[in-house]
Amino acid sequence: MTPGTDTSAFPGTGTGSARADIGVIGGSGFYEFLADTERLSISTPFGDPSDDVLIGDLGGRRVAFLARHGQGHRIPPHHVNYRANLWALRSVGVRQVLAPCAVGSLRPEHGPGSIVVPDQVVDRTWGRDHTIYDAVGPVVHVGFSDPYCPRGREAVVDAGRAANKHVVAEGTLVVINGPRFSSRAESTWHQQAGWTVVGMTGMPEAAIARELALCFTTVALVTDHDAGVDAGGAVTHEEVLQVFARSLEGLKSLLKSAIGAMPAPEDDESALCSCRRSLDGLRLPFALPR
């Protein structure tokens, strides 16, 4: 996108009748997360998102859902248009995002079915579009020392504990490029570094959310032990899908409870979360959706 682009020319970037304040970016099995939805086809300055945005009511909140990999899980992690996905959500009013994903555990004590709510991330991806601010113009550096929203994380952790789930309240997610799984040597390296779980979709998703001043919370469902952890065997796609399917309803229930406990949209500017203030004082090369 070039400096001075009129973003109002793109469908979905202005105000409209279908609005939501909470967004959920989900994968396989989440296509029926909301009932009685309105479907929006949204174009963005970065191309089309992975799928249409579905907006409906859930727990008294207006929620927008977007399938990260598209219907039928057709888009591999390294080809997901993370920029368009987050822009599309912001364009319908979303300011808080919950992002469930499947991960492998790097710790023997966090077995399949565990929920990890990371507070840190390590990005080992490459070849992806990592920023929305890549045009010539004012250079934009956003802070990313604490990648995830503290209030969103608290809501998810509290909901999980209330449901007596094995919830790990902090940890580091290392994001690999995929679509292959890690080698044993790579897995050992990740374990020795002290990281907690490994996945393929968490970046640049979290960083782009911060560039859009969105509150962003990753909810990582452990589907397997990564290669070589706890003397385990090689990870297989079939194993991941089986565990994810068994754990899906519990994950949906946790997210629905968390959505009901998420902070209401702030009317008072002084009460804004630090995530929402990530662009304060910065000169941007173009306007963001309102």
Which is the catalytic residue, given 51, 52, 123, 224?
A: 224
Q: Is the dihedral of CA 30, 32, 37, 43 positive or negative?
A: positive
Q: What would the DSSP string read from start to end of 68-111? A: TTTTTT-S-GGG--HHHHHHHHHHTT--EEEEEEEEEESSTTS-
> Does 267 qualify as catalytic in the annotation?
no
Which is the catalytic residue, given 226, 230, 267, 280?
A: 226
Q: Are 220 and 103 in contact (CB under 8 A)?
A: yes
What is d(CA 118, CA 159) in angstroms, rounded to the nearest whole number? 15
Helical spans, DSSP H, in the chain: 82-91, 150-162, 184-192, 205-211, 237-261
Single-letter amino acid, residue 32: E
Identify the three-state secondary structure at position 40. strand
Q: Is the dihedral of CA 190, 191, 194, 196 positive or negative?
A: positive
Q: Are 204 and 128 in contact (CB under 8 A)?
A: yes
Q: What would the DSSP string read from start to end of 172-207? A: EEEEE--SSPPPHHHHHHHHHTT--EEESSSTTHHH
217 CA to centre of own chain: 6
What is d(CA 209, CA 83) in angstroms, rounded to the nearest whole number? 9
Crossing angle of the two packed helices 237-261 and 150-162, in degrees rounded to 10: 100
Catalytic residues: 224, 226
